[in-house]
Amino acid sequence: MSVVSVATNGQRMSSVLGVSVGAGAVRVARPLAGNSARRGTVQPQAADAFDVQTVSVDDRRVEELAADAIGAILSADQRITATAIAFRDEQHARAIRAELARRQFTDYELVPDVAAALEFLEFSGELQGFSTVALYDLGASGLSVTVVDTGTRQVSYSERTSDISGDYLDSLIREQQIASGRIAHPPDAAGLAALDALCRTAKEQLSENSAVALPSTEGLVLLSQENFEALIMLAVESSARMARDVILRSEQPVQAVALIGGCAQIPLVARVLRRWLGVPVLVPANPETVATRGAAILARPVRQRPAPTPFTSAFENSLPPQHESVPPLLSSAGAEKFSRRREVSIAGVAVGALVVVAAIGVSLGWGPQVLEHDSQSSDAGTTSAVPTTTKPATETTTVVPTTTDATNESLAAPPPRRETTTTTEAPPPPGPNTITIIPGLPPVIVPTLPPLFPPPGG
């Protein structure tokens, strides 16, 4: 685990700690003694007054390295009372949180890396005079472009891609060096990783030199600025096209673009973005540590932490889920499905009851009358006359509603009772073939069957 310290100046550190967890490195930052790490208290020329340490990622998980670095610093300096860790997205935050929970670390806060970067850029005076900016963050694992309002902290639009990244640029250098014949292809994965690290170093040195020559066990890595820019031009232009599309989709008047991340130091990136976007392009000093230093500015002890900054548009998913007042099974969609299932169940019960009644009617000899009544009630006409027995001149008219309305009304409430004076004829006297099956119902007359064989002598 290699550690690189920046801007220590032999001074004592303060009591807050900022951390950024990247794919290629873990960085920690503490303001130097005398700086309160609050916006407006440090002049722009003193914005680099932070102690920054970089832990290079090896074959271990980056979350483990971050937890090790935080634990080592907290053990060495008991005065640190607040720690803020910048995260990229919710999946990233969950991985960090899980590793810290395993180590039983609790006194920390997670902040979006966009919020941390914006905080430092305003702290250092880089964004003075700009109300809406686009953050172009090109790091080892990918590119993120975010349009944000500097006053309200509102994110209008954000997009991320892994099609262009620092690792991808390193692979372009590696393949170009192997194709040139100066470098032999490594025989194993370890040799390939060592060659990638050498190409990464060459890329970083080209930000300050016109050419680099780095020896390796496989040969000499030789790269000039001109060859490097020709090699990555298509990828950089593709990233500029993406930044332009994000700005257009945000529908906001972006006034400047701020470059952060390790690859922001490549001079070609700033030149291409200026040409494509036509707005000022800001490149702060040490752009790879902007989020780390911003996290140190945002770090507060638990009792002093303000309400979280409302980065609602891009970081809604980063917040922990809140308890809803309505359980998921009784939400609007769930309640609607439950209501529909209940309606279907009630209709099924009604249909089943009708089937049972019809079956009893058929068994009692009412089949023709029931079927005839059903066929009449299902006709288009809605009026049927029910004659009475004693008063043929006066008829009771019953309005039969349509099928849907009748069903709904029958389920909603029973129809009002109407008193109708009717006179029923007395049932015929029971004969020898009359059988009463159910008391209270009309008797069933069994027909007389002819004998099977004629009487003798007939």
The tens-digit pLDDT sequence of the chain (458 residues) is: 444 444 434 444 558 999 999 988 999 999 886 655 554 444 444 456 789 999 888 778 899 999 999 999 999 988 898 999 999 999 999 999 999 999 999 889 999 999 999 999 999 999 999 999 999 999 999 999 999 999 998 999 999 999 999 999 999 999 999 999 988 898 888 888 889 999 999 999 998 899 999 998 888 999 999 999 999 999 999 999 999 999 999 999 999 999 999 999 999 999 999 999 999 999 999 999 999 999 999 998 865 545 544 444 444 433 333 333 333 333 334 444 434 444 444 444 444 544 444 444 444 454 444 444 444 444 444 444 444 444 444 444 444 444 444 434 443 444 455 544 444 555 555 555 666 666 666 666 666 666 555 556 54
Q: Give Cα separations from 66 to 14, 156, 173, 207, 235 (angstroms).
A: 20, 30, 29, 27, 30
Q: Which residue has the tokens 């990464």?
A: 200
What are the structural domain ranges in the chain?
A: 1-126+286-321, 130-283
What are the structure tokens assigned to 44, written together? Answer: 């722009």
Phi/psi of residue 78, each to 5°?
Answer: -75, -10
What's the CATH fold of domain 1-126+286-321?
Answer: Nucleotidyltransferase; domain 5 (3.30.420)
Q: What is the pLDDT of residue 127?
A: 93
What are the structure tokens assigned to 27, written together? Answer: 């960085």
Produce one character per residue of 303-323: b if its CB has 16 or more CB atoms within 10 Å, e if not.
eeeeeebebebbbeebeeeee
Pick the CATH number of 130-283 from 3.30.420.40, 3.90.180.10, 3.40.120.10, 3.40.50.1820: 3.30.420.40
The rounded distance, in Å, linking the Cα atoms of 92 and 183 is 36
Q: What is the pLDDT of residue 216?
A: 85
Name, in order, each residue with C-beta under 8 angstroms of 202's C-beta and a sequence gap of 6 or more: 173, 212, 214, 221, 223
The rounded distance, in Å, linking the Cα atoms of 375 and 97 is 70
What is the value of pTM for the model shown? 0.63
What are the structure tokens assigned to 190, written together? Answer: 């370890």
SS3 string, 239-266, reads: HHHHHHHHHHHHCCCCCEEEEECHHHHC
